[in-house]
Amino acid sequence: MSSPRIRLFLRELLPAPLRESYHRYALRRDFGISARTGKRLPRPIDRTLLRGANVVGYFDSPSGIGQSARGLARAAQAVGIPVARIEASSLEKSPAPAAPYGLNLFHVNADGASSVVEMCGPKVHRGRANVGYWYWETESFPERWRDRFSYFDEIWVASEFCRDSIEKRSPIPVAVVPPPVVIDDRAGPRPSTGFRFLTVADAQSVAERKNPLGAVRAFARAFPRDAGVSLTVKIANPESSPGLVGTLESAAGTTRLDIDTEPATRSDMERLLAGCDAYLSLHRAEGFGLPIAEAMALGKPVVVTDYSGSRDFVDETTGFPVRWRPSTLDRTLGPYEEGTRWAEPDEEHAVEILRAIVEDPAEAARRARAGQRRICERYGLGATGGRLAERLDRLVARLSARP
């Protein structure tokens, strides 16, 4: 049994008060974090470590978080930064991972960050620059996660929206280092079966935030009986939102709706994106909006709520932004607390846009081409790798300058 696992095992044997006391002691001993102040004591960088990145993430997951971790590792390698990949889901069952490089990039959101760092153990953490890579989807970062900052020297995020939210709470620098948008499986032309819109949602990511219901309602109003236009709704983990599929089917009315709930690999998702004619996302909040950017990379017109992370790359020249009004949650949904502010997309405006895309394909194609260029220029492997390399070197230089 590895030392991190031994510590976790022994801690669970203790009564709750002793367990909390031991945890405070272990934080100080192993990570230099004061239980009284919540701050980490400055420790020297091990200058004998090689330049490179130990990336801890969910590499085996087909989700957006998994794709983001895989993409950042590839971007680093594309600009000559060596990478050691550490699978976060295996840490409880594996020995302490090898971490040969001078930067640890913990690509684990704030809610799970502390447990993952502790499972990696102090030998991985000590002597290195430690960065958390976090997504967050609303304007207010939760106060309950303030203690997570103590483990890190910087937080990197995917979008300006994430930075604005997290920076309000953060005692350490927060930098935008976006993931690359990488499509490996570009399927060929599909048989002509009319015009097909696509929307994608993972029910584990809170269906109300992804808002596939809003997309279905807008589509049903735009094309109530047009057999030549269809909408595919790809729902991952539908069991996380009981009744969602039935609600979508009821909202569809007489329109052509296909709901796909089958498990999908990464290649399946890329082929699904390549096979649509346009992408629709009436989200209420996004940290980045990776499927939107991926559809744009494939040259698809996108219809997107003009709010949150996707605003970094979707505007009137590169896509079809949808108006919105502020909305406040009247109850807690997953990690999003009652009182959270996010967007309520204007479905009537979305209806107008959906019809315009079908009726004016030339304008849709023009914006799609512009969107494709923007994604290529800003989010290609070379561009994102360059930003990552610059931030890595600045961070290591800053930490190395400590007395």
Please give the pLDDT value at position 100: 96
Please give the pLDDT value at position 7: 56
CA distance 226 to 219: 11
- Of 341 and 190, more confident: 341
Place of tokens 């057999």: 227
Average pLDDT on 319-336 reads 97
Beta-strand runs (E) in 114-245: 129-133, 154-157, 174-176, 195-202, 229-236
**CA dihedral sign, ordered 296, 298, 302, 304:** negative
DSSP string, 132-147: EE----SSS--GGGGG
Given a cut of 60, whether residue 3 has pLDDT beyond it is no
Please give the pLDDT value at position 102: 96
pLDDT tens for each residue of 360-397: 999 999 999 999 999 999 999 999 999 999 999 999 99
Mean pLDDT, rounded, of the chain: 92
In residues, how long is the chain?
403
Phi and psi torsions of 325, nearest 5°: -130, 155
Please give the pLDDT value at position 9: 59
* End-to-end Cα separation, the chain, in angstroms: 37
Q: Model's pTM, two decimal places?
A: 0.92
pLDDT tens for each residue of 209-256: 999 999 999 999 999 988 899 999 999 999 999 999 999 999 999 999
Instruction: Measure Cα distances from 136 to 145, 262, 318, 321, 341 in Å.
Output: 12, 27, 24, 21, 13
Helix (H/G/I), strand (E/B), else coil: 370: helix
Please give the pLDDT value at position 144: 94
CA distance 87 to 89: 6
Please give the pLDDT value at position 283: 98
Please give the pLDDT value at position 28: 83
Phi and psi torsions of 142, nearest 5°: -65, 135
Percent of the chain at pLDDT > 70 equals: 92
Please give the pLDDT value at position 10: 54
Cβ(196)–Cβ(347) below 8 Å: no
pLDDT tens for each residue of 195-212: 999 999 999 999 999 999
Return the CA Rg of the chain. 22
Given a cut of 60, whether residue 30 has pLDDT beyond it is yes
Please give the pLDDT value at position 317: 98
Band of residue 1 on the pLDDT scale cut at 50, 70, 90: very low
pLDDT tens for each residue of 5-25: 555 555 556 565 655 665 677
Q: Which two tokens stand for residue 57?
A: 């993430």
